[in-house]
Structures are given as structure tokens and as C-alpha cells.
Structure 1
């Protein structure tokens, strides 16, 4: 398999995926995007993997987005900007793994790279992280979800400021605006992201998948409809829970707490 994307399976049910083209700011070449999809399918089919961390190699870039040098010699690659095919669209590829994804943003996340960051469920940023939407500057419309996701996270006015100017957003401001959960020193980033993924991996995957669905589907609805959906969904799911299920999970939580104290 190509080394443009690295997969590390860790003992605790967490997979670390690294975009590995640091000499090109981890730009999303055709080959990298195809490899990323293949790795995400490996993760999907591996029941021992319960959570995923995605990061970039080095400290300069998470990813600078589509490889503009590649596009400069072959414009057929432009279709990737709107293609939903997961072998071409890295956002669809990441979502296709079906597991919770923590983005460890180690450097710049620019344009398509910003969209890849937004594909993650949770973002932890290095103090080196910066975000920019330069679609307008290069004359390419976003097609991987940024125009809709970003304004829902930070508000429409702030999203317009970023997208209409191409200005960079630093890590601290990104945290203040709710784009990232927190900012950590560069040398602590992976530890923080992997520890978070480790905590997520404790939850039973079938339950977590349903909880994730409940949150994401409800987010797309008006509040009253979302509350009604939660009532319906939870009444069905909670009706399937047995006393034995609760006791088993209680014991697992207790054992984990003891192990941490030890």
C-alpha cells in the first residue's frame, strides 16, 4: 500500500491515520485520496477498531487541500472538488469508516483541507493550527460541505468573513468560535487526541453508532422535530435494554476506574 497515508492500529481499539506527504503540505493528490478511502474501508471492516484519529505528518500542515500542482497539469482532477465518490472525495471517505473520528489538526488546514477537518466528529488543535478557506481566491467552489457546515458551527457572518476573504483563522480564535474543542502545545497534540479516542473506544460500538446517528440526524431538524425524534428513538432503544446489560456496563465502568487509579 502507498505510504501517502499511514495506518497504525493501536492496542486500545484506536486507529491513527496520518496524511503523509509533508514535503507537499500533505496535499490531497489523486493517489492519496484513493489510498485514504482504502484505509477507511479497512477500518470499517475491522471490529477491533472503535475510534479513529486523523492527523497530518509534520507540524506545518494538516493538509493544504487538493494538490494544485497536480491540477495545473491535469484539469480533469477538478471533478474531485464536487465528486461524492469516496475514492475521490476524502470527506466521504472519512465518513464511510463508520467510526467516531477525532481530527488532530497539527498545522494549516486550507480549503479542501479545511473541509477534511470538518469531516471529523471532534477537532483538537495544535497551537500551530490555522484554518483558511481560499476557494474564492483560487476560483473553485466548495463541494465537500464547507459552505454549509462552517456557518452552522461558527455562524454565518463569521463564515462569510473567512470564505469571502481567504483570511487565516488561528487556533485560539478557532477555539473561541467553537470550531475546535481545545488547543494544546504541538508536542502534546497526538497524546491529547489519542487519549480522547481511547475514552471514546470504551463505549460499545453499536450503542455509540446509534447515539451518533441520534445527534447528527436531530441536528438537521427543527428543535421541536428533533425533540420528538429523540423521544421516539430513545423509547425504542431503551426498551431493548435489559437489567443484565446495565449491570455488565456498570461493572466495566467500575473496572476502568480502578485501573486508572492504579
Structure 2
């Protein structure tokens, strides 16, 4: 029997059912869908609820407007730098976001409609099937901020695009268009922006109408490749959080706020 199920009254997530068995989750917070703590926490926790919802056969995750999600907002980053207790909450939430997405049995399709960075990019690329608009821009901006790449990239990028490309893009922070992401194998599909949701709905409908146990066991088995990289991911997450305690993150955030190039120290303590 299908369970009676209710989701929380999210502030920055919109939920609807565009097709039978398909739940669509839309990130909706400001012009760039940047994350405050509440949104970051909700995006980490919703996957456990979806997994428990018998009505869901497939999920689409997308962004409202011109961005998928530009990652953490400046105020949240500032609080991570200056508040140790909050920093530890964000470490825990970041870990749970990845863990919960990997453990969610329902197939997840990301429709990457625009800019995706930070935690937003983690969700976009940890989806089982990722569909990007040609004009979407994907960037992991951690080292530009002055902290080690964490969130997800160390765990999954080498599997998707290889170590050489991973090191290049994580160290240079060059943005990756949806078109280039598909060419490199970073995303599953790339389409014109006006075809993005239509394509995501077609794929979600096909998966939702497939053999549920076969699909979910396939997902679980394949995700063991990512789980095998868990020690590397844990290290990246720890180093990323550690970086918020140092001078590079403070300078990186100041440079972003002032819209200038950062002036990082020339010598490293490590």
C-alpha cells in the first residue's frame, strides 16, 4: 500500500509532479539560486524523504530561472570562515548530501539549465543521468575561493573525465560549457536550452516506467565505484573545511565581494 507522505514546507525548493511517478524538485532562491544554510541543509536531506516516498519512481532536479545553483552565498561562506560550530555543521551537511544522493534508491535526473557551482554542481553531477543545456556553465570554484576542492569533485570527476582533465579544471577553475561537458563525458546529454525540460521529462518518464528493482539495483551497484573513492572524498572534505580557517579563504571571499582578482600569499604553509 502506498504510504501517505508529506514533504516539509520548503522555503527555497518547489516540488511538483509533471508526470505520474515523477517528482520534480526546482531550486528557487534568488536570481542565481545560491545557497544559504537552510537550502543547503534541505538539499542534503530531501533524498532520504524521496527514497521513502512510494509515489516516486524518478526525480528531476533543476533550477528556477537562468541558473541551476551558483553554490553557497557570500554570507554563508563568511559564516563558515568565522564560526567554528557552523563550519562543523557545514562539514556534516556536505558529507550527508553526497551520502544521501548515493543512497537514494530512486533514479535522479538533473536538468542543468544554467550556472552550476559548489554544492549545486555536486547535485547536478551526482545525479544518475545529467542533462545540460548547451549554454550551461559548470565550475568548481573552490580553489579560486582559497579552499581545497571538496563537495563531490574528488570522488566523481576522475571517473567521469579522467585524472588529467580533473586536475586541470579543479586547479584552474575554468568554466565548462554544457557542450564541452558532454564531449568530455562529464554529463550524460547536452541539448538546446529550450529542449532541456522536454528532454528531462522524456528520460524521467522512460526510467519511471522501467523495471524499478532492476534499475535501482543497477544504480546501487554502479554507485559502488563512487563509494570506492570515499576515503579520497573524506580527505577532500576535511581539507576543504580546514582551508576556511586560513588566510586564503578570507582573501578569496574578499576578492569575490569586491569583484577583483585575489591576492593570495605567495608561499604555502604546507
TM-score normalised by the chain length of structure 1 = 0.74
SS at match of 1:203: coil
> Which aligned pairs between 1:139-150 and structure 2 lie closer than 5 A?
139-150=146-157
Matching residue of 2:133: 126
Matched, 1:22 2:40: no
Specify the alignment match of 2:252 in structure 1: none
Structure 2 equivalent of residue 162 of structure 1? 169
Q: Does 1:179 align with 2:179?
A: no
Alpha carbons 1:82, 1:143 under 8 Å: kept:
no
Q: SS in structure 1 opposite 2:71?
A: coil
Decide whether aligned partners of structure 1 residues 218 and 171 sit closer, same or farther in structure 2, where only a CA change above 3 A counts.
closer
Shift, 1:63, TM fit: 0.9
Return closer, same or farther for 1:170/1:80 CA change in 2, 3 Å cut-off: farther
| Residues paired across the two proteins, number | 217
User: Scaled by the length of structure 2, what TM-score is found?
Assistant: 0.72
Residue of structure 2 in register with 1:239 after alignment:
none
Match of 1:4 among 4, 12, 25: 12
Root-mean-square deviation (CA), in Å?
A: 2.3
The alpha-carbon distance between structure 1 residues 97 and 205, as it changes in their structure 2 partners (threshold 3 A), is same
How far apart in 2 are the matches of 1:2 and 1:140? 30
- In the alignment, the residues of structure 2 paired with residue 28 and residue 220 of structure 1 have an alpha-carbon distance, to the nearest angstrom, of 26
User: Residue 89 of structure 1 contacts residue 144 of structure 1 at CA under 8 Å; is this kept in 2?
Assistant: no
Alignment pair present for 1:113 and 2:120: yes
Highest CA radius of gyration, 1 or 2? 1
For structure 1, the 5+ residue unaligned runs are: 222-262
Q: Tell me, yes or no, if the aligned pair for 1:80 and 1:89 is still in contact at 8 Å.
A: no
Summarize the alignment of residues 1-262 of structure 1 with structure 2, pairs less than 5 Å apart. 1-23=9-31, 25-59=32-66, 61-73=67-79, 75=81, 76=83, 77-79=86-88, 82-83=91-92, 85=93, 89-217=96-224
Find the aligned partners of 1:93 and 1:217 in 2 and give their Cα distance.
14
Please give the per-residue CA displacement for 1:18-54, whole angstroms capped at 9, x wherever unaligned. 111132x111211112333454333222212111010
Instruction: Identify unmatched segments of 5+ residues in structure 2.
Output: 1-8, 229-270
Equivalent position SS for 1:125: strand
The C-alpha deviation readout for 1:134-165, integer Å capped at 9, x for no partner, is 11111122332212311221011111111111
Measure how far apart 1:182 and its partner are: 2.1
1:33·1:89 contact (CA, 8 Å) conserved in 2? no
Write the distance in 1 (CA, Å) between the matches of 2:46 and 2:224.
26
What is the deviation of 1:96? 4.4
Kindly provide the CA deviation profile for residues 233-259 of structure 1, in whole angstroms up to 9, marking residues without a partner as x.
Answer: xxxxxxxxxxxxxxxxxxxxxxxxxxx
In structure 2, relative to structure 1, the CA distance for the partners of 1:217 and 1:73 (3 Å cut) is closer
Larger deviation, residues 113-122 vs 165-174: 113-122
